[in-house]
Amino acid sequence: MKDQILGHLNHPGELEKLYRSNKSLFRREFNSLYPEIQGSRFAVFWNERLNYERDEINWANRRELIFVVIAIIVAGLTAKLPAFLHIDEEYFYTRNAGFIIFPALSVYFAWRNKRSTGKIAIIAGLALAGLLFINWLPDTPKSDTLMLSCMHMAFFLWSLLGFAFVGGKDSNGEKRLAWLCFNGDLVVMSALIAIAGFILCGVTAGLFSLIGFNVEKLYQDFLLPFGLPAVPVLGTYLTQTNPNLVGKVSPVIAKIFCPLVLGMLIIYLVAIVITGKDLYNDRDFLIVFNALLIGVMAIIFFSVAESTKTTNSKIEIWTLALLSTATIIVNSFALSAILFRISEWGLTPNRAAVLGSNVLILVNLLLVTVLLFRVLIGKNEITEVGKVITYYLPVYFIWSTIVIFLFPFLFGFK
């Protein structure tokens, strides 16, 4: 890419084609070249275009802001359905928690990105099928298949949201990487909004308590049902209308947390060996172990996605490669433990779900780790690692669909 930028520096049309082919790579390579070419008027123009930052928050147009407000109200009313329809709260929220937020965000992206009628129909049809199926499942006490379906429904709806974001099969690797980066930015922005909201609520409750008013009931009846769904919706709106708002924060967080997580993981593995913890017969420990695996894998994927937007040092790539390797070791422990439990006590819905998830994660991590080491020796670019991650995501969607819709029948609704 650097050679192409230099070769077409005085040809604006060719530079535009290069930029549109891979915006993140173009920006990274151009910024690394800029000190050498800043004497060119075209280089100065592109530098301003690529690195211009607004001083104020952009609230977009009135239509989009109204759309967001309506989405927040609809999500809040959905959260209040148990009170309106006298439905058992545990029954409702266990099965339908994901439908409070994800459909609103899917509609937002489908509308904002002008998705075709056909794609909108696919998203709506799959979401409706999930809604009807999860509420059709019998309310069997301690049903493992019901619990698994409810847990995987969140990922199913998250995948539909991704479809609305990137546009489906015709999407390119850049859009899919932008999807992963969006999720990281959304977590950061939502955390900031939530912290500010909790501080405001605490101060408000304290002030009203001084004059004899108890606002806890008001918070419980209205603030939580409408405020909690508003956090990701408002966070999504701000990240999309102000991409630079957290654009510099997320890469810093990724760079800080990767070495910390790597150190923690190594210490944890050593501690398991020293303490002689029985991973094979302790079910609760195995559950925590798998949760750790998923969390670390998410950090790796987010860090790789953020790395594609910046120029990375060898140390950062080495950190990611070692973290991926350590995660493969963790995954191998978990996989051997679940295979042992299946051989000793047979196949259950939970064991089948964990086995399938661990195998998929292991394959994905192996692909990512191999490419990271190839980046270190100069045979691949970091963007290719990101593409492998994004093009593997539909595999997880297929697996979640199998767990939700087939496991209840395969295991007799147990």
Which residues, other chains included, contact 377 with Cβ-Cβ below 8 Å and sequence gap of 6+?
A: none
Q: At what angle do helices 12-21 and 41-51 cross, to 10 degrees?
A: 30
DSSP SS3 for 276: coil
If you average pLDDT over residues 133-162, what whole number do you get? 91
- For the segment 402-414, what is each residue's pLDDT rounded down to a tens digit? 999 999 999 988 8
Two tokens at 229?
Answer: 């769904």
How far is it, in rounded angstroms, from Cα 305 to Cα 390?
9
- Say if CB 158 and CB 102 are below 8 A apart: yes
Report which of 189, 170, 171 is spatially closest to residue 179, judged by C-alpha positions: 171
Residue 86 gets which letter from DSSP? T
Q: Please report, for residues 134, 398, 403, 412, the alpha-carbon distance to residue 406 in angstroms, rounded to integers and kept in the order given.
A: 12, 11, 6, 10
How far is it, in rounded angstroms, from Cα 215 to Cα 222?
11
Q: Which residues of 13-24 are buried (b: 16+ CB within 10 A; e: fewer)?
A: eebeebbeebeb
The alpha carbons of the chain give a radius of gyration, in whole angstroms, of: 24
- For the segment 148-181, what is each residue's pLDDT rounded down to a tens digit? 999 999 999 999 999 998 876 556 667 788 888 8
Q: Residue 183 above 80 pLDDT?
A: yes
How far is it, in rounded angstroms, from Cα 106 to Cα 314?
38
- For the segment 23-50, what is each residue's pLDDT rounded down to a tens digit? 666 777 787 787 778 778 778 888 777 7
How far does CA 304 lie from the centroid of its chain? 13
Q: Residue 191 above 80 pLDDT?
A: yes
Which residues, other chains included, contact 125 with Cβ-Cβ below 8 Å and sequence gap of 6+?
A: none
The burial class, CB within 10 Å (0-12 / 13-18 / 19+), for 407 is buried
Element (H, E) at 15: helix 12-21
- The pTM (predicted TM-score) of the whole model is 0.83
Two tokens at 10?
Answer: 């005085």
- For the segment 52-78, what is each residue's pLDDT rounded down to a tens digit? 655 556 666 778 888 888 999 999 999
- Residue indicated by tokens 């909690």: 228
Return the percentage of the chain with pLDDT > 90, whole number: 26
Q: Please report, for residues 38, 143, 174, 356, 401, the alpha-carbon distance to residue 408 in angstroms, rounded to integers and kept in the order given.
A: 63, 9, 37, 16, 12
Q: Residue 378 above 90 pLDDT?
A: no
For residue 227, the tally of other CB atoms under 10 A from its CB is 19
How confident is the model at residue 170, as a pLDDT?
54
Backbone angles phi, psi at 248, to 5 degrees: -95, -15
Element (H, E) at 167: none
How confident is the model at residue 232, as a pLDDT?
92
Report which of 124, 31, 68, 24 is spatially closest to residue 240, judged by C-alpha positions: 68
If you average pLDDT over residues 322-326, what whole number do you get? 90
Higher pLDDT: 54 or 206? It is 206
How confident is the model at residue 124, as a pLDDT?
93
- For the segment 274-297, what is each residue's pLDDT rounded down to a tens digit? 887 777 777 777 777 788 888 888
Confidence at 395, pLDDT banded by 50, 70, 90: very high
- Say if CB 96 and CB 88 are below 8 A apart: no
Report which of 385, 4, 72, 331 is spatially closest to residue 226, judged by C-alpha positions: 72
- Residue indicated by tokens 């987010």: 302
